[in-house]
C-alpha cells in the first residue's frame, strides 16, 4: 500500500502527497473538491480589514480570519480582494458546544434538505444565496425549511485565488 497519492485532472498532476496533507492542504480547488465526502463548500467572498483584523465576507455574513492565517493573507496581498472561501462540511456544526466554542463565526442559514446517515446527518443549507453542506450529529434539532445557526471552525478554513483557483492557504 502506498503512502502517497497523486491527484490528476485531464492527465495533469495537480498534487502529490500523503492523503492527510492533500486533505488538509489541497493545492487548488479541484483537489479540495475531489478529496472528501461530501466535498468542500466553496463560497465566493471578499477579504476585508476592519479594526486591524481580517474577515471573509459574503453578503451580510462576516467571518473572522484567525491571526496566523490573516498574516499569510496579508503577506500574499489578498486584503480587499475577491477570493473563494472553502470550508469542509465537518467544520460546520449546530451543536451547542460548537456554537459556544466558535461564537465569533456563527452564520444564519435555512435548512433545505436533511440527510440522515445513521452516525451523522448532513444538513443542506442556504446562506446568503450560497449552498452549504454541514456534517452534524444525528441528534441535531434542525428541521427542514427552518432557519438555523451554525458555527464555522475558521481554524480549518481555506482560501483560493478566484482567478487561478490555487490555494492561498
Strands (E), the chain: 5-9, 12-17, 41-50, 53-58, 61-64, 82-87, 92-93, 106-116, 121-127, 130-136, 147-152, 158-161
> What residues have CB less than 8 Å from 4, skipping those under 6 apart?
16, 17, 18
CATH architecture, range 89-152 = Beta Barrel (2.40)
Note whether 132 and 126 are within 8 A (CB): yes
pLDDT for the residue 157:
98
C-alpha cell at 88: 469542509
Task: Read off the pTM.
Answer: 0.94
Please state the separation of Cα 87 from the chain's center in Å. 1
Mean per-residue pLDDT of the chain = 97
* pLDDT tens string 46-104: 999 999 999 999 999 999 999 999 999 999 999 999 999 999 999 999 999 999 999 99
Domain ranges of the chain: 1-35, 89-152
Residue with cell 450529529: 137
Give the separation between CA 47 and CA 26, rounded to whole angstroms: 20
pLDDT at 39 over 60: yes
- pLDDT-derived band at 1 (thresholds 50, 70, 90) equals low
* pLDDT tens string 130-165: 999 999 999 999 999 999 999 999 999 999 999 999
pLDDT for the residue 34:
95
Amino acid at each position: 500500500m502506498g503512502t502517497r497519492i497523486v491527484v490528476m485532472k485531464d492527465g495533469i498532476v495537480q498534487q502529490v502527497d500523503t492523503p492527510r496533507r492533500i486533505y488538509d492542504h489541497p493545492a487548488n480547488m479541484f483537489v479540495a473538491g475531489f478529496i472528501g465526502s461530501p466535498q468542500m463548500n466553496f463560497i465566493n467572498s471578499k477579504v476585508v480589514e476592519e479594526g486591524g483584523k481580517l474577515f471573509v465576507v459574503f453578503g451580510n455574513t462576516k467571518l473572522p480570519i484567525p491571526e496566523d492565517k490573516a498574516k499569510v493573507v496579508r503577506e500574499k496581498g489578498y486584503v480587499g480582494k475577491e477570493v473563494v472561501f472553502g470550508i469542509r462540511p465537518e467544520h460546520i456544526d449546530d451543536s451547542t458546544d460548537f456554537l459556544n466554542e466558535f461564537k465569533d463565526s456563527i452564520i444564519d442559514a435555512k435548512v433545505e434538505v436533511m440527510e440522515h446517515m445513521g452516525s451523522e446527518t448532513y444538513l443542506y443549507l442556504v446562506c446568503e444565496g450560497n449552498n452549504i453542506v454541514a456534517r452534524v450529529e444525528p441528534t441535531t434539532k434542525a428541521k427542514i425549511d427552518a432557519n438555523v445557526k451554525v458555527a464555522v471552525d475558521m481554524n480549518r478554513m481555506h482560501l483560493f485565488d478566484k482567478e487561478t483557483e490555487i490555494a492561498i492557504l
